[in-house]
């Protein structure tokens, strides 16, 4: 699958140049000319890495990074026209992964994007995907901490139950078969698939108002289980 790069850059010529180059390098490229729209794109879809301009109209690149880092660990490569080192250090201090200064060669930028993406994918964070906090209806799921909460109340959950829940949350609206769930959570294909049904039942007891008529984790007849997109934020 192609990796998705989000370019946040208000200068269209530069954005277009980066876009063309990265597409030729095999990336799927999205572009936003403001940080605000960039954040929406991050929230809506699966972005693997961000190329971020600092001088933007409205919210600037630093403010974008601060907002992004509250919930996401997606790698960010800063593209800056400011030669000022203090800006660079500040940028790195608040969660940028790398930077290039304008004018830059698209080849160098593409190499940096590739290197940062690779580093991220090899890290634990990458394995667990970019997002740490997921909301399901009135519940909050904190992936890194294996925490399930309703308001401030922690709901006891086993690690496997938690992983089944996260797997369904990370595939919103898409039914997953017991085979797929087993293979994703238990890491092999040789288990007893009723284990999956047992874990789903336990999750429903914890999450559903009426576990016999589940509204959150739905059964999709002859396919498996799914959580509707509208319930996830």
- CB-nearer residue toward Ca ion: 55 or 66: 55
In the complex, what is the shortest distance from the CB of residue 65 to Ca ion, in angstroms, rounded to a whole number? 15
In the complex, what is the shortest distance from the CB of residue 201 to Ca ion, in angstroms, rounded to a whole number? 53
In the complex, what is the shortest distance from the CB of residue 55 to Ca ion, in angstroms, rounded to a whole number? 4
Number of H helices, E strands in the chain: 9, 11
- CB-nearer residue toward Ca ion: 33 or 170: 33
What CA–CA distance (Å, rounded) separates 139 from 150?
5
**Measured at CB, which residue is nearest to Ca ion?**
55
Strand ranges, E, within the chain:
4-8, 28-32, 49-53, 76-80, 98-101, 133-136, 139-142, 147-150, 153-154, 217-220, 224-227
- CB-nearer residue toward Ca ion: 53 or 170: 53
Neighbours of 207 (CB within 10 A): 23
Q: Are strands 49-53 and 4-8 parallel, antiparallel or unpaired?
A: parallel
In the complex, what is the shortest distance from the CB of residue 102 to Ca ion, in angstroms, rounded to a whole number? 9
- CB-nearer residue toward Ca ion: 14 or 217: 14
In the complex, what is the shortest distance from the CB of residue 89 to Ca ion, in angstroms, rounded to a whole number? 20
- CB-nearer residue toward Ca ion: 47 or 56: 56
In DSSP terms, which residues pair with 141 in a beta bridge?
134, 148
What CA–CA distance (Å, rounded) separates 64 from 53?
10
Residues in touch with Ca ion (CB under 5 A): 10, 53, 55
């Amino acid at each position: 699958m192609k990796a998705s790069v989000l370019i946040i850059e208000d200068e269209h010529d530069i954005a277009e140049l980066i876009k063309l180059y990265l597409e030729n390098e095999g990336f799927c490229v999205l572009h936003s000319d403001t940080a605000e729209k960039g954040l929406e794109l991050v929230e809506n879809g699966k972005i693997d890495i961000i190329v971020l301009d600092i001088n933007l109209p409205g919210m600037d690149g630093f403010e974008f990074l601060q907002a992004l880092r509250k919930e996401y660990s997606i790698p960010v490569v800063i593209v800056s026209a400011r030669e000022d080192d203090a800006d660079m250090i500040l940028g790195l201090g608040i969660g940028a992964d790398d930077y290039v200064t304008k004018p830059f060669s698209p080849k160098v930028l593409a190499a940096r994007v590739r290197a940062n993406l690779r580093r991220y994918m090899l890290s634990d964070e990458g394995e667990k995907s970019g997002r740490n906090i997921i909301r399901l209806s009135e519940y909050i799921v904190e992936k890194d901490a294996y925490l399930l909460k309703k308001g401030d109340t922690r709901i006891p959950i086993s690690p496997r139950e938690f992983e089944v829940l996260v797997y369904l949350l990370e595939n919103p609206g898409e039914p997953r078969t017991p085979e797929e769930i087993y293979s994703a959570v238990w890491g092999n294909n040789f288990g007893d698939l009723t284990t999956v049904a047992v874990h789903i039942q336990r999750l429903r007891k914890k999450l559903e108002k009426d576990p016999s008529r589940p509204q959150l984790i739905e059964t999709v007849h002859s396919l498996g289980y799914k959580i509707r997109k509208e319930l996830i934020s």
